[in-house]
Amino acid sequence: MAAILDPTPDSLAKVARHLADGGIAALPTETVYGLAADATNPSAVARIFAAKRRPSTNPLIVHLADPEDVLRWTTPVDDLWQRLAEAFWPGPLTLVLPKRGGIPDSVTAGLPTLAVRVPDSPLTRQIIRLAGCPVAAPSANPSGYISPTLAAHVAESLGSEVPYIIDGGPCRRGIESTIVDLARPGNVEILRRGPISAQAIAEALGRGNIADRRIRASEDEAQRAPGLFSAHYQPGTPLFLWEQEPPTPAPAHLPLALLHFRRPVGAGESGSGQHWLSDSGDPEEAARNLYHMLRQLDQGQYRAIYAQTAPECPLGLSINDRLLRAAHGLAGEGPPAAESTPH
Ligand code: TXA
Ligand code: MG
């Protein structure tokens, strides 16, 4: 079983040595906990894929202690990366750049590009420095399940796979980094929505707007085939989405969980089937609570979860991206009513 370690100087040194020796460990970041290994060591990287049961076609993000290290592992095509690094690093932004030597193909799933980020966790940057290697780290969850935002989440779902988890407390941002593709000269494209908005990126680059590959894809999909969003971050309990009005579900054999974006007027304590992501409707608070809430509801004896989508502010769009991938469909296409439930 995994040991959950307080971030003392001794445990940081111990975990750094373990990584330098080719082991894996879970580390905190400001977004979600990552499952870390030496990115230059193919057998260490293989341990990440095995522990998560991650398909070898899904490339990893490499975490660096300092922005300058980007030039050691990638060959940027222009200076856009520097402008984004100055504006957002350390922080929840991942840059995809042409790969240089020294990183095995398994990290990038054979792509000629490498995804890099400098996380805003002094603990984890210290471990990376002490380990003396770049650190590959996908989110520390079994492939396809909900990402972890607490050390306890990692222990619950990967505890038998990972020897050490550094406890950095709850992740401040709560959803994975924004991924921006800078691999072609002058071209800036968002591959994954996250805490840093397209507008903030456009502003930092002095541009009008930024192409968003993901948004086009998921909006198209949402309209064409609501039940077929690309599955990711999924709870085991079927999850359905609603926008303005909560559905009035049919009586059911097992109760249904209703997840509001904001605490409903007049609601008592969270519980007994009614839950919310934020007391005040603050998107930052909602993002921070999202994965913990989905994990909790998934562990409750619910027949289905009905989650409200976030308002369409920049961070709300990133939350909705995660909800769409977690969803099995829209409310109204929910599970069969109680009558058909076997007793
Ligand atoms: O916030 C985060 O980014 C967290 C923390 C731990 O840093 N990490 C994370 O990793 O979310 P993961 O493995 O769950 O997501 C990594 C994603 C891949 O699924 C892929 O979509 C994208 O990063 N990616 C990695 N390398 C890429 C590349 N060379 N080109 C395009 N996309 C890439
Ligand atoms: Mg992940």
The predicted-structure confidence for 330-342, as pLDDT tens digits, reads as follows 776 665 443 333 3
Ion ligand 2 nearby residues (CB, 5 A): 139
> Closest ligand 1 atom to the C-alpha of 34?
6
| Ligand 1 close to Cβ of residue 36 (< 6 A) | no
Mean pLDDT (the chain) is 90
pTM (predicted TM-score): 0.92
CB 27 within 8 A of CB 36: yes
The two tokens of residue 267 are: 């609601």
Residue nearest to atom 13 of ligand 1 (CA): 138
| Ligand 1 close to Cβ of residue 175 (< 6 A) | no
**Burial letters 117-126, b for 16+ CB under 10 A, else e:** bbbbbebbbb
Q: Which residues are CB-contacts of 306 (< 8 A; sequence separation ≥ 6)?
A: 239, 240, 241, 242, 246, 247, 249, 256, 257, 258, 259, 331, 334
| Ligand 1 close to Cβ of residue 178 (< 6 A) | no
* Ranges 30-44, 188-202, 226-240, 254-268: which has the least confidence: 226-240
Rounded average pLDDT over 75-101: 97
Residue nearest to atom 24 of ligand 1 (CA): 59
Percent of the chain with pLDDT over 90: 79
> Higher confidence at residue 341 or residue 265?
265
| Ligand 1 close to Cβ of residue 23 (< 6 A) | no
> Closest ligand 1 atom to the C-alpha of 117?
7
Among 29, 35, 53, 61, name the best residue to mutate to test ligand 1's pocket (greatest count of ligand atoms within 8 A of Cβ).
61
